Amino acid sequence: MRRLGVLAAVLLVLLPSSGTAAERTARAGVYTGYGFDACTAPSSASLNAWSASPYRALGIYLGGVNRACKDGNLNASWVSSTLASGWSLLPLYVGLQAPCVSGAGLAKISSNLTTAANQGRAAADDAVALTGKFGLPGGTPIYFDMEGYSTTDASCTKVVQSFVTAWVDELRAQGFVAGVYGSAASTIRDISTLGASLPDAAWIANWNGVEGVFGDPHVSDSLWANHQRVHQYKGGHKETWGGVTINIDSNYVDGPVLGGVAPPPPSPPPPAGSVGSGDNRAIVSWPDGAFTTPVAVTLTPVVPPPANGYAVQLTVTDTGTSAPVTTFGAPVTLHITGATGLAPASSTDGVTWIALPKTSYKAASDGGVDIQTTVPGFFALLPDTVPPSRPDGFAGRFVNGTLRLSWSASTDNAGSIVSYNVLLDGSPLATVPAATRRAIVHTFHPSTQSVYRVQAVDAAGNVSTPSRALVVVPTRRPTGLPHALPHWAWDLYNAQHGQGTRPAKAPKKLPAWYWRWAGWRSAPFHLKR
């Protein structure tokens, strides 16, 4: 916003509430499209030139102790002619700022909560008085401009909430629509939990270039869902239309304005949406039908996190009653990154954790995990201590004197298998990649049995129970062989297996013992049945 050195455009949004809803509805219409504002209201001639632009909503600064620019062109006559020419007006009040806001020379809210509330009511009364000065009718939406402030100062947050609650309640009591502008990560985050005093409209400042009002990682799409938002997507810059250049902030508007032509429709069920945890580690998203009433969905990192893990708390609150929502109409999806070596778990208190069943989550393509849930609570990725399943289907066969082993894939509770260990008599003999699931063995005990098994290894290093055993035993040497085998027997055996030529000394008719010996030589070991 310009008055503090940054500028934003403005949206006037209505959420009818008891007592004064009919009066406010009579003065507010719905506008969906592009809006802008400048520090000083443009002249009528400039607005006529800007009829060539996509903008049809115009922010005007009524006043406030931190307002930077004077009235300029703004007066009752200008308001009347601007409305008549088809522009919708978006009034904004620049009052006291958060006690933890940066910037010298700013008037700030008291750190005393009672005083802060009194200051919020006084700001609302002053804003209402200014609407009379500029010829704005009752029921006009008015936004309080609360600039971005520290996101880690809990006491500052409470002061802002006390001030805004009084601002909202006082404006409503006088028949006006109460809006609030602020940074998505601080102001809007903090006012999203005000329950019955939730502002009627939110003006979300996030200069990300997105020309739409939903999808902000800091603001649940379930809040201000019924034509109640403006998104300030681009900061101060110059634009020229019809030969006239103005320094503006750009916004996309979807909500009630002064000068619109239609009242807002009845509140529909909350749409599908999503909200992030604020630390880029987790995001929760939900489909249409997940909630039956307007709700505030929050995803908060657990501090301190579980040892060597990560956890978030998912809460859902009915914005009309401030009551917690304990079950959902459809599963919501909680995506958490960095799941390698960690296993999903849930908790009702953030202390006692229960491993989630494999059917309630699946691995994501980015190395994270997608958890499905129909209830709120605590969700975590914790060090994986559960071993993979035992490999089944372990089998072997001899081919040319070597043992060929194979087995079926194991499964793991926290992701995929990374490798398999081939064991000889219980000790590692070889390690193969998870996708291979086969091995060729050349190592055997020459005079006793050799026992082979296989075990799975997961990403956390947990190993499964070994598979069933395959036992290899030496094949007994044939009887009736010469006490000392002639050299030609060895040479002939090698020639028959592709090494060298047939020895001249080998008899044309080979003795029977040679074939018994050659068969044993080719398969000196066999599987024990």
* pLDDT one-digit tens code per residue, 197-239: 999 999 999 999 999 999 999 999 999 999 999 999 999 999 9
Together in a domain, 156 and 247: yes
Residue 315 phi, psi dihedral angles, 5° rounding: -125, 145
User: What span, in angstroms and rounded, lies between the C-alpha atoms of 69 and 39?
Assistant: 6
Residue 253 included in any domain: yes
Residue 330 reports pLDDT greater than 80: yes
Strand partners, 245: 240
443 assigned to some structural domain: yes
Q: Per the domain annotation, does 73 fall within a domain?
A: yes
Is residue 374 located within the same domain as residue 308? yes
φ, ψ at 183 (rounded to 5°): -65, 140
Which DSSP category does 174 fall into?
T
Predicted confidence (pLDDT) per residue in 60-72, tens digit: 999 999 999 999 9
**Domain of residue 302, CATH code:** 2.60.220.30
- 463 shares its domain with 491: no
Q: Are residues 413 and 375 in the same domain?
A: no
Identify the pLDDT of residue 519: 86
Residues 298 and 373 reside in one and the same domain:
yes
Confirm whether 93 is domain-assigned.
Answer: yes
pLDDT at position 278 is: 86
- Over residues 438-466, the pLDDT tens digits come to 999 999 999 999 999 999 999 888 999 99
With respect to residue 172, please indicate whether it lies within any of the assigned structural domains.
Answer: yes
Sign of CA dihedral 397, 402, 404, 405: positive
Structural domain including 511 reads: 487-527
Residue 92: CATH number of its domain: 3.20.20.80
**Which of 451, 474, 497 marks a domain boundary?**
474
- In the predicted structure, residue 393 carries a pLDDT above the cut 60: yes
Q: Which of 6-20, 33-47, 72-86, 306-320 has the lowest mean pLDDT?
A: 6-20
- Distance between CA atoms of 515 and 521, rounded to whole angstroms? 10
Could you give the number of structural domains in the chain?
Answer: 4
Report whether pLDDT(261) > 70. Answer: no
pTM, to two decimals: 0.53
pLDDT at 267 over 60: no
Residues 207 and 173 placed together within one structural domain of the fold: yes
64 part of a folded domain: yes
